[in-house]
Structure 1
């Protein structure tokens, strides 16, 4: 794009906020074209990608997990917990392996000797997370469950890919139906694998695609974090951004092909034809 896309997408969020106060008006995001026509430019392909498989991140996409809360509450003694905002979580921690996230957060907060303290912070966060999970502080996003079931109904192979080593345990706590948990929905699972590099490196998504009967170019990745979107695009995949926190602009900037606030906005009819697009209004 030759225009100032940063200012453009920031203005979209501001306009959406104004539209929220006027229910009769559609969200401005619906007026922004999907990037189907730009896929060849951003992915390096000469033709639009025909999709046939899906890869899901977990935290923030499928589950409302207590990760952010655990990171914040574990900060006591390292920095002021109130400084750990949702924006900081999304930009510095989300999608990264535990130790990398801890180091990134401490550095962003200006904590002295962050490298030496990151391991202790990461361990404290893990202990707090386990306490919150045991207390039942995990739930699934209803739109995500509907979307997963819709993809399954298409007969498409599905993978789940999270850097969190807690992802599988959390998904077993969510019922997909009377006989299956959310974890049972996936044909491939690379959650918590030891990786050489975390997101935005595409390693985790390429690993997931390698366990599906589909080439990376035919996969779309569902992500809520800019680092995850960047990782998907770096792997030659289409990226579907889920802006549950009013952060659509950052997902567009990261290179998302389409950004929605709910997965109910994705057209299953068009997806059945290999196209990622919004439901027509």
Structure 2
């Protein structure tokens, strides 16, 4: 794959010319399609294990986002310096899940409007679309979002690999390779939209294109993971250029 020339001057607009570029998209859920209360649930479930003020967005993105629940629990506690992290992690993961369900039932989840617009635009191009998240809560949240009368966001995707039991979590590419297989396409034909460095690393490991979504002032981490393009809003994704095999801002 031809990737961005990272030696270009910062004043130059980033351009990626994609030989044999993508014609399908794979979307992560939390932080890309939905503004969900996952981070809040992890923070509030600490229950005295560590100072909740130390559970920052940066820590969540680096240690938890994109990982299966049990792995995320352990990674978070290790990052917070909890001495008996491995012992405490299973109960922490259970408390987080209970708190998340409470927050979802209270309506603390919403679609991100620019993501819905991009999904609809790519759908209009006839692109096959997949959704891929390690979260076992993703599908329930997607079903709760109405895109148009009688149609949920869940129904906009032809392939869904959310909540699967996987041998390896991100940054391993397993979940994205499953999505590509479901789309019946080679990995190089897919572009992944992710907000976590681990997700970008997984896309790269799977030989896929990637767009990093820096909604949380975290573009540096996504660039460090070698996203092909980094945006702060999915309205910035140049849909027609993407269809023509070029990414630029």
TM-score tier after normalising by the smaller chain length: over 0.9
Q: Which residue of 1 aligns with 2:16?
A: 36
CA contact (8 A) 2:131 2:161 kept: yes
The structure with more helix, counted as a fraction of residues: 1
Check conservation: 1:51, 1:275, Cα contact below 8 A.
no
> 1:52 touches 1:218 (CA, 8 Å); kept in 2?
yes
- Any idea what the Cα deviations from partners look like across 1:158-179, whole Å, max 9, x if unmatched? 0000000000000011111112
1:24 matched residue in structure 2: none
**Structure 1 residue 162 and structure 2 residue 142: aligned?**
no
Alignment of 1:146-157 (within 5 A): 146-157=117-128
2:187 & 2:226 partners in 1: Cα distance?
Answer: 16
Matched residue count: 243
* Aligned 1:1-281 pairs, distance under 5 A: 31-34=11-14, 36=16, 48-278=19-249
User: SS where residue 26 of structure 2 aligns?
Assistant: strand
Call closer, same or farther: CA 1:227–1:32 in 2, change over 3 Å: farther
Partner-residue secondary structure (3-state), 1:205: helix
1:40-70 superposed Cα distances (whole Å, 9 cap, x missing partner): xxxxxxxx34110000000000000000000
Find the aligned partners of 2:30 and 2:47 in 1 and give their Cα distance: 23
Given the two structures, how large is their TM-score scaled by the length of structure 1? 0.83
Q: In 2, distance between residues paired with 1:247 and 1:169?
A: 27
Which whole-Å CA distance do the structure 1 matches of 2:228 and 2:152 have between them? 30
CA deviation string 1:233-264 (max 9, x = no partner): 00000010000001111100001000000011
4+ residue stretches of structure 1 with deviation over 4 A? none
Structure 2: runs of 5 or more not aligned: 1-5
3-state secondary structure, aligned to 1:147: helix
Q: CA deviation at 1:35?
A: 5.1
Distance 1:32 1:108, change over 3 A: farther
**CA positional deviation for 1:213:** 3.0
Q: Provide the secondary structure at the position in 2 that maps to 1:211.
A: helix
Greater share of strand residues, 1 or 2? 2
Displacement of 1:32 in angstroms is 4.7
Q: Counterpart of 1:269 in 2: which secondary structure?
A: helix
